[in-house]
Amino acid sequence: MSENGLVIVYTGGGKGKTTAALGMALRAVGHSKKVWMVQFIKGSWHYGEINSSKRLGPEFELSPAGKGFVGIIDDKLPREEHKKNAEEVLKICKENILSDKFDIVILDEVNYAINLNLINVNDVIDLIKIKPKRLDLVLTGNHAKNEIIELADLVTEMKEIKHPYKSGIKAKKGIDF
């Protein structure tokens, strides 16, 4: 087995980016690996992964650190508050990446945070470059920047072919959240 950790990116307009990262976490916990997942956007709503992640502890830790969806749905926060929060989350990411406490760190929705200009792509590139050699680092979210894709070892693009929402079917518990 390889001692070198990978940089893995799940991106694209289709569903399944966070789900793919969670599947990897489930597999890793099955091998007694320590996983930390931080969510840059989610945090103000209640998602099923918040409950299920507790069942995977202590190997799996989930930090829903976002202030909610930026500029859509029921967002009433000033953009600057989202930006300040995302920058603070990035500092916590650096601490956890360098802590040598985890085998896998998942930066869920980080590509959205970059695309929304809440954080700078160069700061995320710096995280990739400073990660311990053995650490696997996973980045999710649509709109992955080319600079990140170039640094990654594995990039999977989720492509939407058909989505129930377009047929008037609302998001379902256990499927979408």
Segment 127-133 mean pLDDT:
97
Per-residue tokens: 73: 């749905």
Model confidence at 1, pLDDT cuts 50, 70, 90, reads low
- 54 pLDDT tier (thresholds 50, 70, 90): confident
Domain boundaries along the sequence of the chain: 7-167
pTM for this structure? 0.90
- CATH for 7-167 is 3.40.50.300
Q: Is pLDDT at 48 greater than 80 in this prediction?
A: no
Is a pLDDT exceeding 70 seen at residue 46? no
Distance between CA 146 and CA 123 in Å, rounded? 14
User: How many CA within 13 A on the CB side of residue 31?
Assistant: 9
pLDDT band at 114 (very low <50, low <70, confident <90, very high): very high
